[in-house]
Amino acid sequence: MTFVKTKIELSKLSEGDTLEVLLSEGEPLDNVPRNAREQGYNVISVEHVEGTTHKVIIRK
């Protein structure tokens, strides 16, 4: 579902826009950047925020 939400948000953006996604470790953090790359989006950065939360920036 995390990628579903990410995908819907990405669809609202224009080419070149970026999206910040906060993800928990485990499945969401493995899944979202991988699927985004597979679908041709540019994963700019993955950075640890706090605890188990990570911030991923994706460019459309």
Partner 1 sequence: MAETKKLSIIAFSGDFDKLTAVFTLGTGAAAVGYEVNIFFTFWGLDAIKIKQGRSFTGGNWLTKIFGFMMGGLKVTPTSRFNFLGAGPRIFRGLMRKNNVATLEELVEAAKALGINFYACEMAMHVLGLKKEDFIPEVKDVLGVASFLKLSDGGETLFI
Binding site for partner 1 (CB under 8 A): 1, 3-8, 11, 35, 38-39
Judged by beta carbon, residue 11 or residue 14, the one nearer partner 1 is: 11
Smallest gap, in angstroms, from Cβ of residue 46 to partner 1? Answer: 19
Smallest gap, in angstroms, from Cβ of residue 1 to partner 1? Answer: 5
- Contact assessment for residue 57 and residue 33, using Cβ atoms and an 8 Å cutoff: no
Smallest gap, in angstroms, from Cβ of residue 18 to partner 1? Answer: 19
